[in-house]
Amino acid sequence: MQINLGDMYAVDWGGRPQHMSQKDLLLWRIYEPMIRSRYLGYYYDVQLIPDIILPPETTPSMKKVWYAASAKRIDVLAVTKKGFDIIELRDLAGVSAVSAVEVYILLLRQSYLTAGEIRGIIVSDYPDPLLFTFAAAKGIEVVKLGI
Amino acid sequence: MGSLKTSLEYVGIKTATLESLVVGVNAMQISKSDKHNILFRYAQEEGVKIPDSLLSNLRDTR
């Protein structure tokens, strides 16, 4: 398992994270002031690349494409004093968002960042009503920002 | 990064007046302290003061 963390940004950085979609950015702008005091910093667009065995004849450039295409990407990885919070931003969040966060948690535990607590948070302005119950059963928090 | 005002309008909160802003933020399913944090940041960004009489209407709806 490979992890591409990138740079950690201070909580008061205030810039636009690279690769964050416009919809995700709008949700992040509301959610971030609510949680800022909990965190030491943020990593954005963290790539988790599962171990994949490719045929030996695969060229280096094709390998690069393959790994990039199969990487799972965490919108925001927030650093706490005890570990990490995985923050998934989705405007329309179905129950599949829970599985996505579970996969991120699983892969993160396989990385070198194994120590400490890892929690999942789904932030949405239009969550599926079933999402709250399903996520709670899996220990994942759901935050509804829309009205 | 865009303004918090733009983001709040995106999720359906009317920011035309402070009253409508507070009503909208109050309708979100988040804790009272989270609502305070949003309004505090909004007031900072927009250079406005949100009266205590409006803030006292906030309720925990998580």
Residue B54 has pLDDT above 70, yes or no: yes
**Contact (CB<8Å) A26/B7:** yes
Which pLDDT score, from 0 to 100, does residue A67 have?
Answer: 83
Which pLDDT score, from 0 to 100, does residue A117 have?
Answer: 92
Which pLDDT score, from 0 to 100, does residue B1 have?
Answer: 61
Shortest Cα distance from B57 to chain A (angstroms)?
17
Which pLDDT score, from 0 to 100, does residue A137 have?
Answer: 97
Judged by a CB distance cut-off of 8 A, whether residue B48 touches chain A is no
- Better pLDDT: A50 or B52: B52
The neighbour count for residue B42, using CB atoms within 10 Å, is 24
Of B2, B24, B34, nearest to A29 by CB-CB distance is: B2
Burial of A102-127, coded b for 16+ CB within 10 Å and e otherwise, reads: bebbebbeeeebeeeebbbbbbbbeb
Nearest to A24 by CA among A98, A134, A127, A124: A124
**Contact (CB<8Å) B11/A146:** yes
In this prediction the ipTM stands at 0.89
CATH 3.30.465.10 corresponds to the domain A23-46+74-144: no
Cα–Cα distance, A71 to A137 (Å, whole number): 26
Q: What is the mean pLDDT of residues A39-63?
A: 91
- Better pLDDT: A110 or A145: A145
Instruction: Mutate one of A23, A24, A30, A144 to test the B interface: name it (highest B CB count within 10 A).
Output: A30
Cα–Cα distance, A29 to A27 (Å, whole number): 5
* Whole-number average pLDDT of chain A: 92
pLDDT, tens digit (0-9, with 9 covering 90-100), for A2-20: 898 999 999 999 899 988 9
Amino acid at A56: P
Of the listed ranges A97-101, A109-113, B9-13, the least confidently predicted one is A109-113
Binned at pLDDT 50, 70 and 90, residue B24 comes out as very high
Which run of H or of E encompasses A99?
Answer: helix A96-110
Judged by a CB distance cut-off of 8 A, whether residue A55 touches chain B is no
Computed from CA positions of residues A37, A43, A44, A46, in that sequence, does the dihedral angle turn out positive or negative?
negative
Residue B38 has pLDDT above 80, yes or no: yes
Of the listed ranges A21-35, A83-97, A109-123, B18-32, the least confidently predicted one is A109-123
Tell me which chain A residues have a C-beta less than 8 angstroms from the C-beta of B28.
144-147
